[in-house]
């Protein structure tokens, strides 16, 4: 067992999801390095101590919000925390269909829908309200995200498209290819904008 900052022992980390074990261990290591008790961590993170304890328990993949709050309260890298979280989510959500979709192969709306759905699956199927938050203010309403991931619609404009890509942790360098795919699918001739910055808390990872 791991001894906490106040002397109380934590349960061993046990999970068939190796990436989740790695995330939980990393979180515990950051708290140990900070010297904070969970009570103090809760004050710094702005959430309940039991939420933070669950995040580092490996009983289930925690929310991205709780992982970011945990790392921030420890003074640790939120980017590293989210990289580990994303790996745990992907391992937890076993999806068929091989690797990353190719935006160059998008030749119509149906292919675009399928590609966006695959990006969502590779991102670990995040909750749509979390996608709205990660996309940035006003870019991707959660109701629209719900329809997109369900294959019922596609982004209506470039801002919504880049918001969806950001919410799915697609690297900014890949956004122009997906924007071009969106343009082809919808028959738009709007030139691609520069690669956008990711929203606060989003991870600039290449989805593979």
The secondary element (H helix, E strand) that includes residue 3 is: strand 2-3
Q: Quick: pLDDT tens for 14-54.
A: 988 899 999 999 999 999 999 999 999 999 999 999 999 99
Contact by Cβ (8 Å): 113, 121: no
Q: Where are the beta strands (DSSP E) in 104-159?
A: none
Q: Quick: pLDDT tens for 52-95.
A: 999 999 998 888 889 999 999 999 999 999 889 988 887 766 55
Among candidate residues 32, 36, 45, the one with its CA nearest the CA of residue 71? 45
Share of the chain above pLDDT 90, in %: 61
pLDDT band for position 189 (50/70/90)?
low
CA distances from 59 to 64, 88, 208 (A): 15, 12, 26
In terms of phi and psi (left: phi > 0; alpha: psi -120 to 50; beta: otherwise), the region of 155 is: beta
Among candidate residues 203, 176, 164, the one with its CA nearest the CA of residue 86? 203
Q: At what angle do helices 18-34 and 38-45 cross, to 10 degrees?
A: 100
- State the fold for domain 2-92: 434 Repressor (Amino-terminal Domain) (1.10.260)
Contact by Cβ (8 Å): 167, 93: no
> How much is the pTM?
0.60
Q: Quick: pLDDT tens for 138-179.
A: 899 999 999 999 999 999 999 999 999 999 989 899 999 999
Mean pLDDT of the chain: 85
């Amino acid at each position: 067992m791991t001894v906490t900052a106040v002397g109380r022992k934590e349960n061993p980390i046990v999970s068939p999801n190796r990436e989740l074990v790695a995330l939980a261990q990393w979180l515990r290591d950051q708290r140990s390095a900070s010297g904070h008790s969970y009570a103090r961590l809760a004050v710094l993170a702005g959430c309940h101590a039991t939420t933070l304890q669950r995040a580092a328990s490996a009983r289930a993949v925690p929310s991205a919000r709780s992982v970011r709050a945990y790392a921030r309260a420890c003074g640790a890298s939120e980017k590293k925390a989210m990289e580990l979280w994303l790996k745990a989510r992907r391992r937890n959500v076993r999806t068929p269909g091989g690797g990353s979709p190719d935006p160059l192969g998008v030749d119509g709306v149906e292919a675009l829908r399928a590609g966006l759905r695959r990006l969502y699956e590779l991102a670990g199927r995040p909750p749509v309200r979390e996608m709205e938050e990660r996309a940035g203010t006003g870019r991707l309403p959660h109701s629209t995200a719900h329809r997109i991931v369900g294959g019922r619609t596609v982004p209506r404009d470039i801002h919504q498209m880049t918001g969806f890509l950001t919410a799915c942790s697609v690297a900014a360098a890949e956004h122009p290819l997906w924007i071009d795919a969106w343009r082809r699918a919808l028959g738009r001739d709007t030139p691609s904008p520069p690669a956008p910055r990711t929203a606060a808390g989003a991870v600039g990872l290449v989805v593979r």
